[in-house]
Amino acid sequence: MTIPNHVAIILDGNGRWAKAKGMPRSYGHIRGCENLETIVEEAKDIGIRYLSVYAFSTENWKRSRDEVETLMKLFRSYLKKCLKIAEHNQICFRVIGDPSAFDADIQKSIRTLEDFSREFKEMHVQLALNYGSRDEVTRSVRSLAQDVAEGKIRPEDITSEMISSRLDTAGIPDPDLLIRTSGELRLSNFLMWQLAYTEFYFTDVHWPDFDRKELLKAIEAYNNRDRRYGGVKEA
């Protein structure tokens, strides 16, 4: 079986998972966060080199104050746990998205984690926090426009590589496989530029129940695709 080099996951369904158990949404987020710890290590064990996970979108601020507060609390403790996960597994963590909207202590935890794990090479994990594709592309275009205004580049010199190199994912290969849990068939503003040739896999399984077996099922489905552009079917 060919293992995709880069897997991106829209981890969805924490709320529905909890509701089905008669529990509050916050319980779903707690279990979802625990599952994220597990899946990072499972993915590494399977041989995935890059893993990108969508944990909080630019639109998720519109949720109730209580829910946003619960999620912030979870990010606070998760980012600290990631230091151990990074060291134990030699994983390089990068946060994609705009961290400036977070409280100062969360921003500091993000910087600490990125600095601490920068040189680790066993695996690369991208945590999408306050991430939105439209926001990311807008920031990239703004920085190019700035260079044009300063006379550093001409508009006709702008290439798609230059846009890519100013995205939060600069230097990271595009995803080979995108997984969305919990049955919704949309991107919800995730990596729209980077997913141009990615294979999509949707499952009804809610995120807290998405385990190693489910991940392997997704990789198996990926292996049965005819990859015309990715050149993945080398095995």
Residues lying near ligand IPE in the complex (CB under 6 A) are found at: 10-16, 32, 54-57, 60, 71, 182, 184, 186, 188
Q: List, in sequence order, every residue forming a beta bridge with 50; answer none if it has no partner.
A: 6, 124
Q: Which residues contact 176 (CB under 8 A, 6 or more apart)?
A: 4, 5, 6, 7, 198, 199, 222, 230, 232
Catalytic sites, residue numbers: 12, 60
Cβ atoms of 154 and 148 within 8 Å: the answer is yes
Residue 204's binding partner, choosing from Mg ion, ligand IPE, none, with beta-carbon cut-off 5 to 8 A by kind? none
Stretch binding Mg ion (CB under 5 A), from 9-17, 42-50, 52-60, 226-234? 9-17
Nearer to ligand IPE, 182 or 194 (CB): 182
Number of residues binding to Mg ion, judged by CB under 5 A = 1
The two three-digit tokens of residue 112, written as one number: 């600490």
Residue 36's binding partner, choosing from ligand IPE, Mg ion, none, with beta-carbon cut-off 5 to 8 A by kind? none
Length reported for the chain: 235
Nearer to ligand IPE, 84 or 186 (CB): 186
* Cα angle: 148, vertex 151, 157; to 5 degrees: 55
Residue 208's binding partner, choosing from ligand IPE, Mg ion, none, with beta-carbon cut-off 5 to 8 A by kind? none
- Nearest approach, Cβ of residue 165 and ligand IPE (Å): 25
Question: CA 83: distance to chain centroid?
Answer: 17
Tokens 């990074």 sit at which residue?
A: 86
**Contacts to Mg ion from residues 10-49, by CB under 5 A:** 12
Q: Which residues bind Mg ion (CB under 5 A)?
A: 12
